[in-house]
Amino acid sequence: MSGGQVSQVSHVSRLSRVCLGLRARCALMFLLLLALPAPWVWAQELGFRPPRDPDDVAAVDVMRDLAQRILPVYQFADTDLYLANVTALQIVSGAHGAAYDSSRALRRLVRGGAPEGLFGRAVIDGIYARARGIEAKERVAFARAYARAFQELVPPLDNAPAAAVMARLEMPLATVREPVREAFDRWRARGSVPLADAVALVRTWLEYESRRSFAVLLPALIAAEDRARYEAQADVRIPVRAGVVIHASLVRPGRAKGPLPTLLRFTPDPVEDDARRSAFKGYVGITAYVRGRTPDGRGAVWPFVRDGEDAAAVIDWIARQPWSDGRVAMLGDGYSGYAAWAAARSRPAALKAIATIAPMAPGIDFPMAGQIYRNAMVRWAQAHAQAGRVRAGDDAGADADARWQARDAAWYREDHPYRHVDIALLDRTSRLIQTWLAHPSHDRYWAKFLPTPQQFGQIDIPVLAIAGYYGAEAGALYYHEEHRRHRPNADTTLLLGPYDPASIRQGTAATLRGHTLDAVARVDLPELRYQWLDHVFKGAKKPALLQDRVNVQVMGADQWRHLPALPALPALPAPEAAQRTALRLYLDTRQAGGAHRLLPSPAESGGRTSLSVDLADRGDADMPWPDSLRPKQLPTRNSIRFVSDPLPKDTEILGSLRGEFDITPSRQDVDLSVSLYEQTASGEVLLLSEPYDFRASYAGHRTYRRLLRAGERQSLAFTAERVTARRLPAGSRLVLLIGINKRRDRQINFGSGKDVNSETNADAQGLPLRVRWHARSHVEIPVAGP
């Protein structure tokens, strides 16, 4: 018996066990399986002439014809995927009764599996197939038939799979239309489509065609289902002290037996309200709003000041409620991640865990980073802290980013001190922005919002932080490092991968800013957080992805690494980093082919190389900075490029870039930018982590500003508050860009030694700012040990 025949017989046997008890139509499925041709047919081509548009009336007939031609020859070794695809083929071909049987067989086979996967697909396809069957057999309107099918399949589900199914049903129509249009365009000119691609196209078409039919019916059906499953309160008012009330929304599972643990989010942003999703997962979900804010997003907020004590008071209130089992965990993304740490430092008795995504750390990564203020702080304050006097349409519509970028460009052209940035971007003075600008160092103003060393040492609850290599790590690294430093045995877990804040919160896509992620990196990180909480509160197995204190995705290797510590963070105990070493590369001051080299030892000839930037010249106001992780050309504006020799063997880097520059600056201060890229043997480049921008006078210490000595040679050591992990194949090169910051969306440091907020073009003194790098300058990149 051939391998294909063995697979086919096994396939039939497995399917027969699933189909026991179903109607006679299952017999047709067996006949189809036994009659399937040999595996070589999978590569055959099917004639295909798609219409020009998915909404063309001819598309339904074209796709029905395609599905009917696929069914007699379709086979697949995996029973689950076979059933899922056969269901789609049967629906599109018009065999709705057989499709419903196939979907039911799949639901039985994968019951208890991931609801967002094949089980959810089987339920959704089953609803649609059942509705079409009722419509045809009983001659009733589709809306009535679909409502009946929905009621048959969704209410019997537990909360978690039901929530996943309803979320998937609510996928926007435009999201599923575009892949159909792209596929039609791809195969139109060819006139045929390979069988495997044809099956995928039928699946894609069904996603679109079915949603065209039922999308308008979903709001009422889902709202009714939610009312039956959950008890929701839209505006709960929680007294935290005399005269102070915190507004909150609350959702509880309606079928709960007894008190439950609570998941709390403390935030200024109604968009973050995920109380319902927490209830889907079997918890009481509460979204509480920072002092002064209401669930509709109104009210003025003064960020950071009272969040810790207010959140702790809300936790105490939760523990006293009859529906609470006395255990609370805090969720947080960005600002609400900060609030979780602010509450943890006061150690409320009921707080048992915190789970954050890219948590904000005031004075560390917001409103400045590397002690350089970012214009984005004004936009954030306008959206999340201010009340009234909001510019019309500031953050509404698809053009919001363009409008703010235009304001950045207009501000950049003007010769005003940075302390007027609020007037330039908001047309008014903001007391909040002015307060922030008054504290450019990480002084007591910022330190009072964060746990003290003693408080870090007393935080004895499980902590999870999820962050990324591309702008989502500085706060998470700070909290993780300080917690480990002051409580070495802390139950703290860190996960890092090729993500930015938006891709973590909104769901990891296959690509990020032009870069295709490894398959193992495509993880539903918010869902992973719930799995971890189930481990903490319900005794579920700990997610395999979080098996050690530090868990990092190695780009290019399609693997995760699980480590006791990040090797390049300077505060961690040395024994934990013993298995890794640092690749030291020196900056070659000689230039060849438009670039300098990175050398394994200092150039014998010594020498120096210079970079001069005219900070008063604003002719580049309309030149945006590239956002792609795989730019076609390196963004070398205001920078020097250093390129290593080809790597002699595959090399894995993992950790934070650090370095020591031997420099002679022309002024008393400078804002530097350091970026690390991989350049493949074919010339393609990949940004390995978000560029690290930092103010030289604060390098190595955020609290005290130490001005440089203008015109004198001196050493400048730094550690990038960034992490990356990448397997570099033999033949690749490392490319280091070192630049002087001159961006329209950031504060510009003219180097006069004055408060940078007060500097203007006059402080340039008509001369470019110049920095000379000498041959002892080097960087260190953590690599796998021998």
pLDDT in tens, 652-704: 999 999 999 999 999 999 999 999 999 999 999 999 999 999 999 999 899 99
What is the CB-side half-sphere exposure of residue 410 using CA atoms within 13 A? Answer: 14
Of the given ranges (180-194, 315-329, 364-378, 736-750), which has the lowest mean pLDDT?
A: 180-194
Beta strands in 638-762 (DSSP E): 639-644, 651-655, 658-665, 671-679, 685-687, 692-695, 714-719, 724-728, 733-740
Indicate the pLDDT class of residue 112, thresholds 50, 70 and 90: low
pTM for the whole structure: 0.82
Position 397 scores a pLDDT of 52
Contacts of 36 (CB under 8 A, 6+ apart): 8, 73, 74, 75
Q: What is the pLDDT of residues 605-623, one digit of tens each?
A: 778 899 999 999 999 999 8
362-377 burial, b at 16+ Cβ within 10 Å, e below that, comes to bbbbbbbbbbbbbbeb
Position 785 scores a pLDDT of 56
Of the given ranges (31-45, 115-129, 247-261), which has the lowest mean pLDDT?
A: 31-45
Distance CA 144, CA 638 (A): 65
Q: Map residue 491 onto helix, strand or coil.
A: coil
Position 161 scores a pLDDT of 86
Q: Which two tokens stand for residue 690?
A: 């978000």
Position 662 scores a pLDDT of 97
* DSSP state letters, 132-155: HHHHHHH---HHHHHHHHHHHHST
Tokens 């036994």 -> residue: 34
Strands, sheet with 463-468, edge to edge from the N-terminal-most edge strand: 230-241, 244-253, 284-289, 260-267, 324-333, 351-357, 463-468, 492-497, 550-554, 559-563
Position 242 scores a pLDDT of 82
Contacts of 284 (CB under 8 A, 6+ apart): 250, 251, 252, 253, 260, 261, 262, 263, 278, 318, 323, 324
Q: CA–CA distance from 285 to each of 62, 261, 338 (Å)?
A: 47, 9, 19
Distance CA 746, CA 372 (A): 7
Distance CA 3, CA 421 (A): 71
> Do residues 486 and 460 touch, judged by C-beta distance below 8 A?
no
Looking at residue 596, its amino acid is H
Q: Which residue has the higher pLDDT, 437 or 4?
A: 437
> Do residues 757 and 747 touch, judged by C-beta distance below 8 A?
yes
Q: Which two tokens stand for residue 340?
A: 């979780």
Q: What is the pLDDT of residues 452-479, one digit of tens each?
A: 999 999 999 999 999 999 987 899 999 9
Distance CA 248, CA 234 (A): 7
Distance CA 63, CA 91 (A): 11
Contacts of 110 (CB under 8 A, 6+ apart): 80, 117, 118, 119, 122
Q: What values do phi and psi take at 293, rounded to 5?
A: -105, 150
Q: Tell me the average pLDDT across 492-517.
A: 89
Position 41 scores a pLDDT of 43
Q: What values do phi and psi take at 704, rounded to 5?
A: -115, 130
